[in-house]
Amino acid sequence: MGRQPWTGSLSQVEVVVRVFLSGPMGSGKSTVAKLVAERLGLRAVDLDAEIERRADKPIPQIFADEGERAFRTLERAVAAELAQADGIVVALGGGTVAHRETRRALLRAGLVITLDAHIDELVARVGQGQGRPLLAGADVRARLQEVLEERAGWYAECHARIATSGKPPEQVASEVEAVCRRRPIVVPLLERTYRVEVGAGLRNELPAQLARLTSTGSALIVSDQTVGPLWADAIGHAVSGSLKQLAQVRIPPGEEHKGIRTVESIWDAALEAALDRGSAFLGVGGGVVGDLTGFAAATFLRGVPVGHVPTTLLAMVDSAVGGKTGFDTRHGKNLVGAFHQPSFVVCDTDVLSTLPPREVRAGFAEVVKSAWIAGEHAVAALERDRAALLAGDMAATTAAIRMAVELKAQVVTEDEREGDYRAVLNLGHTVGHGIEAAADYTGFLHGEAVALGMVAAFRLARRFGDATAEHAERMTRLLAGIGLPTDLDAALTPKALSFLGSDKKRRGASLTLVLPAAPGEVALRKVPLADVVAALST
Ligand SMILES: NC(=O)c1ccc[n+]([C@@H]2O[C@H](COP(=O)([O-])OP(=O)(O)OC[C@H]3O[C@@H](n4cnc5c(N)ncnc54)[C@H](O)[C@@H]3O)[C@@H](O)[C@H]2O)c1
Ligand SMILES: [Zn+2]
**pLDDT tens profile 294-332:** 999 999 999 999 999 999 999 999 999 999 999 999 988
The amino acid at 365: A
Q: How far apart are CA 298 and CA 290, in angstroms?
A: 12
Give distance in angstroms: CA of 288 to centre of ligand 2.
12
Q: How far apart are CA 285 and CA 316, in angstroms?
A: 10
Give distance in angstroms: CA of 465 to centre of ligand 1.
32
In short, whether 313's Cβ falls inside 6 Å of ligand 1 is no
Cα–Cα distance list, 174 to 157, 166, 168, 179 (Å): 21, 15, 10, 9
What count of residues does the chain have?
538
Partners of 285 in the beta sheet?
A: 310
Over 58-118, what HEC string results? CHHHHHHHHHHHHHHHHHHHHHHHHCCCCCEEEECCCCHHHCHHHHHHHHHHCEEEEEECC
Ligand 1 atom with minimal separation from the 446 CA: 15
Q: How far apart are CA 97 and CA 106, in angstroms?
A: 9
Q: Whose CA is nearest to atom 16 of ligand 1?
A: 286
In short, whether 225's Cβ falls inside 6 Å of ligand 1 is no
| DSSP helix/strand/coil, 138 | coil
Give distance in angstroms: CA of 246 to centre of ligand 1.
24
In short, whether 354's Cβ falls inside 6 Å of ligand 1 is yes
In short, whether 314's Cβ falls inside 6 Å of ligand 1 is yes
Q: Whose CA is nearest to atom 22 of ligand 1?
A: 286
Ligand 1 atom with minimal separation from the 322 CA: 3
Ligand 1 atom with minimal separation from the 226 CA: 37
Ligand of minimum distance to the alpha carbon of 429: 2
> Does the reported pTM lie above 0.85?
yes
Ligand 1 atom with minimal separation from the 334 CA: 43
In short, whether 416's Cβ falls inside 6 Å of ligand 1 is no
| DSSP helix/strand/coil, 291 | helix
Give distance in angstroms: CA of 287 to centre of ligand 1.
4
In short, whether 315's Cβ falls inside 6 Å of ligand 1 is yes
What are the backbone angles phi and psi of residue 330, rounded to the nearest 5°?
-70, -10
Nearest to 204 by CA among 247, 245, 246, 238: 238
Ligand of minimum distance to the alpha carbon of 367: 2
In short, whether 262's Cβ falls inside 6 Å of ligand 1 is no
Neighbour tally for 456: CB within 10 Å: 25
CB under 8 Å to 508, separation ≥6 — which residues? none
Q: How far apart are CA 112 and CA 21, in angstroms?
A: 6
Ligand 1 atom with minimal separation from the 313 CA: 16
Check: CB of residue 519 under 8 Å from CB of residue 374.
yes
Cα–Cα distance list, 120 to 52, 218, 272 (Å): 28, 31, 43
**196, 226, 348, best to mutate for ligand 1 pocket (most atoms within 8 Å of CB):** 226
Q: Whose CA is nearest to atom 44 of ligand 1?
A: 319
Give distance in angstroms: CA of 196 to centre of ligand 1.
18
Q: Which helix (H) or strand (E) holds 523?
A: strand 522-528
In short, whether 322's Cβ falls inside 6 Å of ligand 1 is yes
Residues forming the active site: 302, 324, 366, 408, 418, 422, 426, 429, 433, 446
Check: CB of residue 21 under 8 Å from CB of residue 89.
yes
In short, whether 286's Cβ falls inside 6 Å of ligand 1 is yes
Ligand of minimum distance to the alpha carbon of 223: 1
In short, whether 80's Cβ falls inside 6 Å of ligand 1 is no
Q: How far apart are CA 102 and CA 462, in angstroms?
A: 38
Cα–Cα distance list, 201 to 16, 62, 351 (Å): 21, 50, 9
Q: What is the DSSP letter of 252?
A: P
Q: How far apart are CA 139 and CA 133, in angstroms?
A: 13
In short, whether 359's Cβ falls inside 6 Å of ligand 1 is yes
Check: CB of residue 182 under 8 Å from CB of residue 197.
yes
Nearest to 471 by CA among 506, 508, 433, 518: 518
Neighbour tally for 416: CB within 10 Å: 18
pLDDT at 332: 85
Q: Whose CA is nearest to atom 41 of ligand 1?
A: 288
Q: Using 70 as the pLDDT threshold, list the residues of the chain that sit under it.
A: 1-16, 129, 503-508
Give distance in angstroms: CA of 429 to centre of ligand 2.
7
Give distance in angstroms: CA of 60 to centre of ligand 1.
57
Instruction: Provide the Cα torsion 507, 514, 289, 360; round to 10°.
Output: 150
The amino acid at 167: K
